[in-house]
């Protein structure tokens, strides 16, 4: 229970000014509407209403911030996915080029070996 309360307090810290604003509006609104002694009697109700108002506004602002952050994260994820796809495609192209170059090199080596054998055979025939 204590850990959940600490987590809630940590998440609510950036929104404390909305909480204080809600309490202030509700309290001073109560003073204006009810005036004098009744304001002191109703102060508890006004503070409770202010707390609720602050929590509601703070929760809404937190939700908006989370939505903005999630939109940014989704955009980054899509960009990273696209980059990974392009890099994978480029890697495939490089692998194909390397395999083609290896085949060409083996073919050239085989041709050189055959030509060397022919040259050695002709040198032996003339000798």
Place of tokens 């307090």: 9
Residue 9's pLDDT is what? 61
- Walk along the chain (127 residues) and give the pLDDT tens digit of each residue: 566 666 666 666 666 667 766 777 777 776 666 666 666 666 777 777 777 887 888 788 888 889 999 999 999 999 999 999 999 999 999 999 999 999 999 999 999 999 998 988 888 887 6
Model-level pTM? Answer: 0.48
Q: Length of the chain in residues, anyone?
A: 127
Residue 123's pLDDT is what? 84
Q: Name which of 8, 23, 25 is nearest 59 in CA terms.
A: 8
Residue 3's pLDDT is what? 67
Four-residue CA torsion sign, 73, 67, 15, 52: negative
Residue 124's pLDDT is what? 84
Tokens of residue 60, six digits: 């809404």
Residue 57's pLDDT is what? 81
> Cα(111)–Cα(67) distance, rounded to whole angstroms?
66
Residue 77's pLDDT is what? 96
């Amino acid at each position: 229970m204590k850990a959940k309360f600490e987590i809630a307090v940590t998440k609510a810290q950036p929104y404390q000014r909305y909480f204080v604003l809600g309490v202030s509006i509700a309290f001073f609104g109560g003073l204006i509407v009810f005036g004098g002694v009744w304001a002191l009697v109703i102060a508890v109700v006004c503070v409770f209403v202010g707390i609720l108002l602050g929590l509601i506004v703070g929760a809404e602002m937190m939700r908006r911030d989370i939505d903005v952050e999630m939109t940014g994260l989704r955009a980054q994820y899509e960009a990273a996915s696209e980059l990974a796809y392009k890099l994978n495609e480029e890697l495939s192209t490089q692998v194909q080029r390397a395999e083609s170059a290896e085949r060409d090199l083996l073919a050239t080596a085989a041709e050189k070996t055959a030509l060397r054998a022919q040259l050695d055979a002709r040198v032996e025939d003339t000798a």
